[in-house]
Structure 1
Amino acid sequence: MHELSATAQLAALQAGEFSSRELTTHYLERIAKYDAMLGAFVTVVPELALDEARRADKRLADGDRAPLLGLPLGIKDLFNTAGVRTTFGSAALAETVPAADGWATGLLRQAGAVLVGKTNTPEFGATCYTENSVTAQPSVTPYDVTRYASGSSGGAAAAVAAGLLPVAHASDGAGSIRTPATTCYLVGVKPSLGLVTASVPPSSFFPTAIEGPLARNVADAALLLDVMAHPWKGDLNGWRPEGSFADLQPPKRLKIAVWTETGMDGITPHPETIRAVERTAILLQQLGHEIQEVPIPARWDDTIRRAMRTHFGYLIDLVVDQVVPDQRAAQLTPYIKYLNEIGAELSGADVLTAQAIQVRFASAFAATEADVVLTPVTSGPPVPLGHFESTGVEGIIDRMLEWSVYTPWANLSGQPAVALPSHLDQDGLPYGVQLVGRPRHDLELLALAAQLEAAALWDDVHPPCWSQ
């Protein structure tokens, strides 16, 4: 059953070809078989899942056609789920059981999704690799289990790629949907600012994080996004598109700007990363779009890198002060302690100056005269376990930026972005590309992604554990 897309699984559920209980049992068995190797889940709730599946089957029999009714789903462990443990990837909060769902996670559950568990994430989602003190196993890509599935949505990506979930909820603050999508050969969507209301209240008046879907194809991502794209009425940035993501129309001829340079001194993209962009650009041109190679609009100089360090320190300091009891602070990971110390040293002027620098940096990208921008997602392939911490906690931010250099600007500008698979190299490692659209042109961007998928940008290739 896991070989069917999420969209096909829903159709089969509605046609009575199999039950939600049968489908949920299938996924629970795969989780039991593979999760110890992949590190995809923090918490699995088989009894709750089977009970929700039983109730979904009754609703299906009664003719209910809620958009996700009976479909198994994982929720990223940064986001509250009523009655189900939510650790935020932190040993200091490992026993937290929320009383209510977060906003977007509540929408998914209200749409009939069956919650099978919470997917793995680094502590407070602070890294582009998924490793913490709550779980024994880092999240790894099923294409090579010696390499990270990235982060902070690494568990969600590993689960979908390995056939442990049909689709997954995720979030993206600096690339945390797009880089895991690329390491796991998936489609990942970071919506425009305001399309999805945060399930966790913003800890900053300069929001960069937003929730979105990880899926095996564009239609499945659109399925989840349609449910999530109902902002809370009090969301000051909230908006709704004029149309449905489930009914994407072919895009008009688009002007697409392309660059592959990293903008970071001494960091050059891997040849396969460049190949991914080049083959995508050729296909886009064949589809009738205008392609223009342009220089990167702004470089990652010392000023913006220091501003990003301030940004991470400020946010983590706020989070730790708000949610971690003093008596449990010793359980925080060394990197979070390091960021907390950075944050504690900052003044209000430091934070405002850093945010102004980030705005100026993002504005250079947002001013690009194109409908869509095409870039790599990462500067190289999935990295080996231990890579980011190899030079100590002080070097983690720089090593993360060097690898995920292409993604943070779209968070700072609030633009929609989608990661798409491209190809596997001769070692079987996956590569992908990033498309970034104009603000609030999410429908246009997803339509372009669907057009590339229909034109066979990528092959339907699965990891070794897929058919076992």
Structure 2
Amino acid sequence: MGNELHELSAAAQVAGLRARDFSARELTAHYLERIAKYDEGLGAFVSVSADLAMAEAAAIDESWGDGALRGLPLGIKDLFPTAGVRTTFGSAALADTVPETDGWATGLLRRAGAVLVGKTNTPEFGSTCYTPNDVTAQPSVTPYDVTRYASGSSGGAATAVAAGLLPVAHASDGAGSIRTPAATCHLVGVKPSLGLITPAVPAGSFFPTSIEGPIARTVEDAALLLDVMAQPWPGDLHGWRPDRQFIEAIKRPPRPLKIAVWTETGLDGITQHPETVRAVERTALLLQELGHEVREVQIPARWDDSVRSAMRTHFGYLVNLVVETIVPADRAHLLTPYTQFLNGVGAGLSGADVLTAQSSMVRFAGAFLSAFADVDIALTPVTSAPPVPIGHFEADGIEAVIDRMLEWSVHTPWANLTGQPAVALPSHLDPDGLPYGVQLVGRPRHDLELLALAAQLEGAALWDDVHPPCWSQ
């Protein structure tokens, strides 16, 4: 069975481990072999902890326990601390960093018995929606077309799961960083509501936008990770818990829901690619067939100059905070040109600049929240276009990167600003074999309902389980 182990879902692998159909060592070795064979051309991993993984797997085989993920191989995004395992934050300036402790959610996953096989690729400090850095040889690419980015900042996680190098992956999302990689790799990606999962380090703002979550091949696999990660630290200012497990919630279809649909980008001069519109239209039709009320609406708010400027300020502030906090001054020259650009933006800001930007983002977010007064779910594209070729975002120079990223990932950041739960689901492949996805956004803290809807769509065959060429090789 060894050659087919990666074809099993993560949930099926957990069940197989519990039944002792195969050992944790056998499963871990299978994934390590696939990583060794394929990762050089995919850029999924920053570090592979093969010896540690096999030792952890052996310990699990020798002393069986009840952890929810016991024996399941897992990758952790390289922005998050892992005790005893190199964590670079995607930066050459921190290439030799080995934390002494795990991040909060990372620790939950490891204590649940997950076997850490490595750290997945990410851009420096997670600041871009693609994954170039000076630590790895190449950015993460979608295994459906290795000349195109797998997006980011969780690009390595998505690449690994889509290529069968991991059964499921830990990821994070600050402006779409789970959802856009999931869309480029024909996967399920979940950004939870604010507070469901405690951040690894204290937020650098009272207006937090980033949260950890899963990238998976199935909704059930995503729920498996969410049930482990959704245990907020008691001191988390925004922490909360759902009233039941995700695994249980997805077993029952949701009540009939009111669903608003739009495909407008809200950005002047940027229109939707026809295949992204097709993805939304076929999903809307299926939702209607499932008994939900679906209606097309106008986008609640547009990306005007003040909002775009505010986002630039926000990212400059956050990157500057990270650089000033964790990068040694004598290693700052190793930062990438884009990080140095954002750091310069942040260094020139006043406190008033930051608060003014946050106020603008709050107004923008409020327009989207108000749209949920009589709506349960919003359905939109994930991206404005298919996965883009390597070099696309840098084509007009460093200062234009943030604008080109927004043009492509325009549909995702608002859900980070509102703190709402959002899920990216696969839709279809176009005639060139490129994947397209759709985004569903729920009411704040209605994560269980959102996942139940995602599972219903999966059960109704919204997407086919179509794998990239390396899957069966």
Please give the range of the TM-score, normalised by the shorter of the 2 chains.
over 0.9
**Within 5 Å, which residues of 2 pair with 1:433-448?**
433-448=438-453
Q: Tell me the residue number matched to 2:33.
A: 29
Q: Tell me the residue number matched to 2:68.
A: 67
For 2:215, what is the secondary structure of its paired residue? Answer: strand
Q: Tell me the residue number matched to 1:52.
A: 56
The runs of 4+ residues in structure 1 deviating greater than 6 Å are: none
Q: Tell me the residue number matched to 2:428.
A: 423
2:403 to 394, 398, 401: 398
For 1:362, what is the secondary structure of its paired residue? Answer: helix
Q: Tell me the residue number matched to 1:152.
A: 153
**Within 5 Å, which residues of 2 pair with 1:55-454?**
55-60=59-64, 64-248=65-249, 249-368=252-371, 369-454=374-459
Tell me how far 1:202 sits from its aligned partner.
1.1
Aligned partner letter, 1:339: L
Q: Tell me the residue number matched to 2:9.
A: 5
Aligned partner letter, 1:180: P
| Structure 2: gaps of 5 or more residues | none
| TM-score (norm: length of structure 2) | 0.98
Q: Tell me the residue number matched to 1:20.
A: 24
User: Per-residue displacement from partner, 1:120-146 (whole Å, max 9, x unpaired)?
Assistant: 000000000011000011100000000
Aligned partner letter, 1:145: V
User: Per-residue displacement from partner, 1:211-270 (whole Å, max 9, x unpaired)?
Assistant: 000000000000000000000000010000001101122100000000000000000010
1:42 to 29, 32, 46: 46
Q: Tell me the residue number matched to 1:466.
A: 471
Tell me how far 1:204 sits from its aligned partner.
1.5
Aligned partner letter, 1:312: F
For 2:75, what is the secondary structure of its paired residue? Answer: strand
| Structure 1: gaps of 5 or more residues | none
Aligned partner letter, 1:431: Y
For 1:247, what is the secondary structure of its paired residue? Answer: helix
Separation in 2 of the partners of 1:316 and 1:47?
Answer: 34
User: Per-residue displacement from partner, 1:386-432 (whole Å, max 9, x unpaired)?
Assistant: 00001111000000000000000000000000000000000000000
Tell me how far 1:199 sits from its aligned partner.
1.1
Tell me how far 1:57 sits from its aligned partner.
1.1
Separation in 2 of the partners of 1:47 and 1:393?
Answer: 39
Separation in 1 of the partners of 2:287 and 2:63?
Answer: 43
Tell me how far 1:200 sits from its aligned partner.
2.5
For 1:435, what is the secondary structure of its paired residue? Answer: strand
Aligned partner letter, 1:271: P
For 1:212, what is the secondary structure of its paired residue? Answer: strand
Separation in 2 of the partners of 1:314 and 1:154?
Answer: 23
Separation in 2 of the partners of 1:359 and 1:115?
Answer: 38
Aligned partner letter, 1:404: S
For 2:359, what is the secondary structure of its paired residue? Answer: helix
Aligned partner letter, 1:432: G
Separation in 2 of the partners of 1:115 and 1:437?
Answer: 32
Separation in 2 of the partners of 1:96 and 1:328?
Answer: 13
Separation in 2 of the partners of 1:436 and 1:59?
Answer: 42
For 1:418, what is the secondary structure of its paired residue? Answer: strand
Tell me the matched-pair count.
465
Aligned partner letter, 1:370: V
Separation in 2 of the partners of 1:94 and 1:416?
Answer: 33
Aligned partner letter, 1:232: W
User: Per-residue displacement from partner, 1:367-391 (whole Å, max 9, x unpaired)?
Assistant: 1131000000000000000000011
User: Per-residue displacement from partner, 1:170-200 (whole Å, max 9, x unpaired)?
Assistant: 0000000000000000000000000000013
Separation in 1 of the partners of 2:63 and 2:160?
Answer: 27
For 2:248, what is the secondary structure of its paired residue? Answer: coil
What RMSD in Å do the two structures reach over aligned CA positions?
0.5
User: Per-residue displacement from partner, 1:290-335 (whole Å, max 9, x unpaired)?
Assistant: 0010000000111100000000100001010000011000000000
Separation in 2 of the partners of 1:5 and 1:361?
Answer: 39
Aligned partner letter, 1:276: A
Separation in 2 of the partners of 1:137 and 1:353?
Answer: 37
Aligned-residue identity in percent: 77
